[in-house]
Amino acid sequence: MGERNGLDGKLMTVAEAVKRYVRDGCQIAVGGFTINRNPMALVYEIARRKVRDLHLVAHSNGQALDVLVGAGCVARIEIAYGGNGRFAPTCFRFRKAVEGGEVLVEDYTNNQMTLRFLAGALNTPFIPSKSGLGTDVLQQEGFPPEIRDGDKVARKKVHVMADPFGHADDDVALLPALTPDVSLIHAQQVSTDGTVRIKGLTFADLEQCKAASAVIVTCEEIVPECYLRLDPDQNALPPFLVDAVVPVPYGAHPTACPRFYDYDPKHLNLYKEVAKDDAKWAAYLDEWVYGVESWDAYLDKVGGAQLVRIRANTVAGYAPGLDRR
Amino acid sequence: MAPEYNMMELMICVAARYLEDGKTVAVGTGAPCAAAMLAQKTKSPNLVVLFEAGGIAPQLPEMPISVGDSRTFYRAVMAAGMVDTMTTCARGQVDYAFLGGAQIDKYGNINSTCIGDYNKPKVRFPGSGGANDFASLCWKTMIMTVHSKSRFVETCDFITSPGFLTGDGAREAAGLPEGGPYKIITDLCVMGFDEKTKAMTIESLHPGVDVDKVRGETGFDLLVSDQLGRTEPPTEEELRLLRDEVDPLKLVIGRA
């Protein structure tokens, strides 16, 4: 395991990381939550490379989900929520794809998806929960029997059984574990030894990374190992869990990265307009994803003044007073 | 003269009054968040606000637009993760939770997943998120919504979040913890649930609304409480706090 510590062999570009770990048909877990800390630089690269037939697993995902689905990269989705708060009560391309039968979707809840990642991290085949008993979330399957191979798709969505230890009349729902092929997250800092620090909410990022076969972390900055060792209780993931590290400033744009920048209302409003319309959406992908030659070029398109507007206030951690209408 | 207000402002002010001081409330963004913020500024300064994404007891400075918004953990006691918030719910430490949805039936079951067949939906919505978990695990769930026949339906196309399921005793039989729907606050009235049958019951009519109007906008038979009341309209102070301090950008109250 020694070689997995330090950044040697792990430090790479988004193109290298995606090429190495995100293949057609693989199961990917995307971190963040709605408009916060989505690994967007990786998502755009996956779209640019035209990766296909992905099996996306997430809890409450917004922007990353919508771009991946809208770019035609996704065939199957297991998810709790596809929305972007005020900017998309339901994610637009996600909605169109589900209504049009272009993707298969199986619904769970946030608690269930989090627990399923935790089960994967525990290396157990399933985990019990009380969420959703008696509801269609447990009773309605979204995946057809022929793809339920018991490997990356569970043989059944859920199994309800009586508590075998205590009260025999008390039911629990057993949820299948998730072990994604690759987990993508965006963090604020990674140290020179590969330790990851996340500031603010962690959502289910840690569980999904511990459950995955490979972990790609994009980050705002690389910092000295001694700096993250000063407060080890603030660190999220140890180096040996991380396979690829990609420094990408503003790598979560247009979603927020607490203490570095807020979500970008200007871009999310633009997105809202184009994502509703197929022709405008195709043009958006051409302009903002396929036609952008580098991350620098993407940021130039967003514009320096806008990046300053969304820059986080040092004390607040977001951009107070930002016009978010 | 009584102050003027829109329906969103009315619903927020009414909802805020139900949130007792010292209790814990799980909120999503939008109107529920505004109600919790208003309650903190009026009668319940010690109300603990919890966001499912991990923000616990923030001193909310500005209106968040998603439960993942960085504002949800500003000066919070913890910026945690979903395991932390969901275990808190599962252990029965969350008193109130707000839910929303496209369809609600008479037992307070909610659909926020789809219209039509689940495998070939006519309309797809975002899905449960944490709503099902709140409805399953918290003590008292509350709903704020516009009152219409398309929303208050005999049968939900998909039950995303459990209310009382099929009525009295059904939650227990399914294995759900004690709890269930508490109040439904619409632009017409406040409804609760009959103690015996667990069916939706009108408890308080908003100014200018009568029972026939409510029934006309509801797709199933509604019970009427024998202690039917009249909703107190928002006070000037509630409206001032809501407009000036809670939502000056009108991110929520501007949607009425």
Do B70 and A318 count as a contact with CB atoms less than 8 A apart? yes
Q: How confident is the model at residue A325 (pLDDT cuts 50, 70, 90)?
A: confident
Query: What pLDDT is recorded for position B192?
Result: 98
The CA distance from B190 to B188, in Å, is 7
Query: What pLDDT is recorded for position A10?
Result: 97
Which among A165, A177, A163, A64 has a CA at the least distance from the CA of A115?
A177
Query: What pLDDT is recorded for position A236?
Result: 97
Residues from chain A contacting residue B83 (CB–CB below 8 Å): 114, 118, 204, 207
Q: Which of residues 134-153 of B touch A (CB under 8 A)?
A: 136-137
Query: What pLDDT is recorded for position B117?
Result: 97
Under a CB-based contact definition with an 8 Å cutoff, are residues A186 and A32 in contact?
Answer: yes
Strand partners, A247: A219
The whole-number average pLDDT for the span A169-184 is: 97
Under a CB-based contact definition with an 8 Å cutoff, are residues B144 and B32 in contact?
Answer: yes
Do B126 and A36 count as a contact with CB atoms less than 8 A apart? no
Asked if the structure places residue A151 within a domain, the reply is no
Query: What pLDDT is recorded for position B256?
Result: 67
Query: What pLDDT is recorded for position A2?
Result: 43
pLDDT tens-digit readout, A247-258:
999 999 999 999
Residues from chain A contacting residue B136 (CB–CB below 8 Å): 130-133, 135
Which among A60, A45, A74, A63 has a CA at the least distance from the CA of A275?
A63
Where in the sequence is the domain holding A109, given as residue range(s)? 2-125+182-309
Under a CB-based contact definition with an 8 Å cutoff, are residues B8 and B253 in contact?
Answer: yes
The structure tokens 């919505």 sit at: B125
Q: Which helix or strand (DSSP H or E) is residue B224 part of? A: strand B223-230
Strand partners, B193: B200
The CA distance from A94 to B61, in Å, is 32
The CA distance from B106 to B104, in Å, is 7
The CA distance from B122 to A323, in Å, is 35
Residues from chain B contacting residue A114 (CB–CB below 8 Å): 81-83, 86
Q: Domain B7-255 adopts which CATH fold?
A: Glutaconate Coenzyme A-transferase (3.40.1080)
Q: Is B52 an active-site residue?
A: yes
Cβ contacts of residue B254 below 8 Å, gap of 6+?
B247
Query: What pLDDT is recorded for position A1?
Result: 42
Q: How crowded is residue A48: how many other Cβ atoms within 10 Å of its Cβ?
A: 18
Nearest CA in chain A to B134: A131
The CA distance from A115 to A273, in Å, is 35
Query: What pLDDT is recorded for position A86?
Result: 83
Under a CB-based contact definition with an 8 Å cutoff, are residues A57 and A37 in contact?
Answer: no
The whole-angstrom distance between A9's CA and the closest CA on chain B is 30
The CA distance from A77 to A105, in Å, is 5
The whole-angstrom distance between B113's CA and the closest CA on chain A is 8
Which of A79, A140, A203 is facing B81, going by the closest CB pair? Answer: A203
Under a CB-based contact definition with an 8 Å cutoff, are residues A195 and B48 in contact?
Answer: no
- ipTM for the complex? 0.96
User: Which 8-state DSSP code applies to residue B196?
Assistant: T
Does B68 contact chain A (CB < 8 Å)? yes
Do B70 and A317 count as a contact with CB atoms less than 8 A apart? yes
- Domain tally for chain A? 1
pLDDT tens-digit readout, A105-156:
999 999 999 999 999 999 999 999 999 999 999 999 999 999 999 999 999 9
Q: How confident is the model at residue A4 (pLDDT cuts 50, 70, 90)?
A: low
Cβ contacts of residue A66 below 8 Å, gap of 6+?
A82, A84, A88, A91, A92, A93, A94, A275
The structure tokens 């030659």 sit at: A293
Strand partners, A175: A127
The CA distance from A228 to A299, in Å, is 28
> Which CATH number do you get for residue A249?
3.40.1080.10
What whole-number percentage of chain A has pLDDT above 70? 98
The whole-number average pLDDT for the span A282-308 is: 97
pLDDT tens track, chain B, 256 positions: 678 999 999 999 999 999 999 999 999 888 999 999 999 999 999 999 999 999 999 998 889 988 999 999 999 999 999 999 999 999 999 999 999 889 999 999 999 999 999 999 999 999 999 999 999 999 999 999 999 999 999 999 999 999 999 999 999 999 999 999 999 999 999 999 999 999 999 999 999 999 999 999 999 999 999 999 999 999 999 999 999 999 998 989 987 6
Task: Write down the mean pLDDT value for chain B.
Answer: 96
Does B248 contact chain A (CB < 8 Å)? no
The whole-angstrom distance between A160's CA and the closest CA on chain B is 10
The whole-number average pLDDT for the span A170-177 is: 97
Does B198 contact chain A (CB < 8 Å)? no
Residue A289 has pLDDT above 70, yes or no: yes
Could you please report the per-residue DSSP string of B72-126? GGTT-SEE-BHHHHHHHHHTT---EEEE--SEE-TT--EE-SEEEETTEEEEE--
Which among B156, B157, B178 has a CA at the least distance from the CA of B168?
B178
Q: Which helix or strand (DSSP H or E) is residue B26 part of? A: strand B24-26
- Measured CA to CA in angstroms, residue B203 lies from B103, B188, B219 at distances of 20, 11, 18
Does B69 contact chain A (CB < 8 Å)? yes
Q: Which of residues 91-120 of B touch A (CB under 8 A)?
A: 109, 113-114, 118-120
